[in-house]
Amino acid sequence: MTASTNYKLILLRHGQSDWNEKNLFTGWVDVPLTDQGRAEAKRGGELLVEAGILPDVLYTSRLKRAIVTANIALEAADRDWIDVKRSWRLNERHYGALQGKDKTQIREEFGDDQFMLWRRSYDTPPPELDDSSEWSQAKDPRYADLASVPRTECLKDVLERFLPYWESDISKDVLSGRTVMVTAHGNSLRALVKHLDGISDDDIAALNIPTGIPLVYELDENLKPVKAGGTYLDADAAAAAIEAVANQGKK
Ligand SMILES: O=C(O)[C@@H](CO)OP(=O)(O)O
């Protein structure tokens, strides 16, 4: 790759999930996509074709809403065949004791400030989820390779578990000149965007990522974004969807 050529990275948050629709905190609970989510994923793949930006390698979390979104988008782009790598390090933030709880009820019960602190602050995790909860992942065999499964996480924790994988795998594929697609989650992608754009711990609270709309970053040889914030392939749809994510939990 020549010095003048920029590297390409596609970020894709999964399409609407069952629990997005039901307004529940989800985290590591492995919920499926809704029909709308599947349609968003297909549209995401079509947007890639229309923009002429086709992934050469896919990274996903170990959660089916990301895996299925990527599969549908790749099928729509006729790229089903590309190499795939999955890691728990791309999982959604573990939402602790909030997993399975209704966002509006939590906002009403604890108030706006506490709700936003748990939801968007950089370093305040929700209370830990008990291992006996039906929404716990403590005994989930898919995480048998982890020294310990999180019981809760704040965004800082997500960044700390994501960055080693960025350094060891994802960034290397980007720098090899392959167009990399990362299909993941609202908060694991917020961690990635914070890192790429150098967003402060305070400012990251205001950043929301919409479901199913590809966000394309062109990166220079130091992996710095050529355009801060990247480019959503459907800017109008993204603006409306970002607003909706920001307002979750409001009546
Ligand atoms: O519930 C979750 O896991 C996330 C993403 O859907 O929600 P929030 O946007 O509130 O962080």
Per the structure block, which two tokens stand in for 80?
């089903």
Span from the CA of 3 to the centroid of ligand 1 (angstroms): 38
pLDDT digits (tens, 9 = 90+) for 174-222: 999 999 999 999 999 999 999 999 999 999 999 999 999 999 999 999 9
Does ligand 1 come within 6 angstroms of the Cβ of 25?
yes
The correct CATH number of 7-246 out of 3.40.50.1240, 1.20.1070.10, 3.30.460.20, 1.20.1530.20 is 3.40.50.1240
Q: What is the per-residue pLDDT across 36-52, written as a single tens digit (0 to 9) for each?
A: 999 999 999 999 999 99
Query: Does the annotation mark 92 as catalytic?
Result: yes
pLDDT of 1 > 50? The answer is no
Quickly count: other Cβ atoms within 10 Å of residue 116's Cβ: 15
Residue whose entry in the numeric block shows the structure tokens 């590591």: 28
The mean of the pLDDT values for the chain is 96
54: left (phi over 0), alpha (psi -120 to 50) or beta: beta
Q: pLDDT category, 4, cuts 50, 70, 90?
A: low
| Span from the CA of 175 to the centroid of ligand 1 (angstroms) | 31
Was 94 annotated as part of a binding site? yes
Report ipTM for this prediction.
0.96
Report pLDDT digits (tens) over 54-89: 999 999 999 999 999 999 999 999 999 999 999 999
Of 25, 31, 65, 209, the residue with max ligand 1 atoms within 8 A of its CB, to mutate for a pocket test, comes to: 25
Residue 108 appears among annotated catalytic residues: no
Structure tokens at 47: 């947007």
On the question of pLDDT at 5 being above 80, the answer is: no
Using the predicted structure, report yes or no on whether residue 2 has a pLDDT greater than 60: no
Spatial CA neighbour of 241 closest among 213, 202, 217, 214? 213
Q: How far apart are CA 52 and CA 33, in angstroms?
A: 26
Domain positions in the chain are: 7-246
Classify residue 98 as left (phi > 0), alpha (psi -120 to 50) or beta: alpha
Q: What does the DSSP 8-state code read for residue 34?
A: P
- Please give the full DSSP string across 161-200, using - where no structure is assigned: HHHHHIIIIIHHHHHTTPPEEEEE-HHHHHHHHHHHHT--
pLDDT band for position 250 (cuts 50, 70, 90): confident
Whole-angstrom CA distances from 14 to 41, 44, 92 are 7, 10, 10
